[in-house]
Structure 1
């Protein structure tokens, strides 16, 4: 019985680093935070209008050509600081450009 309890504790302890790592990356990004791995592929539940709003809230204008790719990432064009760039919105709400 003690061996089973000990095995359970060891198993739980080995999982803690993985749990802690996941806790540092929120499921949805908040204003001013972006996952450094963005755009992150995944099942994206944002509508086109929600993706557009995230892009505008990030300081872009003239958002156009939004479409969701096979990785669940909304992609389009937008303008910021006078330059037209490619923009992306992933399932976490991270807005990135290049």
Structure 2
């Protein structure tokens, strides 16, 4: 009697349909995939938008067209410095978060001091 009861309990437990599910948002990452901005992908603030960061060696002009967005910025000052450096701006100074949640300060780029900003999505701009 124990075996059929144990088998029934195990079947009920496994057959309950409580399996983890994954929801796909936007376009999956693939070599020919569009950026999240182009595909209208996830609009959440849980992951920074790095589509507008350019690698070292880019000109400050490449960052001048970036529009920084207002929002609750969770980046620490150290993380803001790191993102600015990855975007090609060195020696960030006087970084302060403004009332719109944007980190603002100055940084060196190609031997010149330029005003810079970083929004809550991780977008970097030279202003």
After TM superposition, the score normalised by the length of structure 2 is: 0.53
Task: Within 5 Å, give how 1:4-83 maps onto structure 2.
Answer: 22-23=40-41, 27=45, 28-30=48-50, 33-34=51-52, 38-83=67-112
Note the C-alpha offset of 1:65: 0.2
Paired residue total: 77
**1:77/1:85 contact within 8 Å kept:** yes
**1:77/1:87 contact within 8 Å kept:** yes
Note the C-alpha offset of 1:21: 7.5
CA deviations over 1:31-64 (Å, ceiling 9, x no partner): xx21976210000000000001000110111110
Note the C-alpha offset of 1:85: 0.4
- Structure 2: gaps (5+ residues): 1-37, 54-64
Query: What is the SS of the residue equivalent to 2:116?
Result: strand
Q: Greater share of strand residues, 1 or 2?
A: 1
**2:66/2:125 contact within 8 Å kept:** no
CA deviations over 1:4-29 (Å, ceiling 9, x no partner): xxxxxxxxxxxxxxxx9752767422
**Runs of 4+ displaced beyond 2 Å:** 20-27, 35-38
After TM superposition, the score normalised by the length of structure 1 is: 0.68
Cα RMSD, aligned residues only? 2.5
Pick aligned residue for 2:114 from 73, 80, 85: 85
Which structure has the bigger radius of gyration? 2
Q: Which has the higher contact order (CA 8 A, sep 6+)?
A: 1
Change (3 A) 1:78 1:70: same
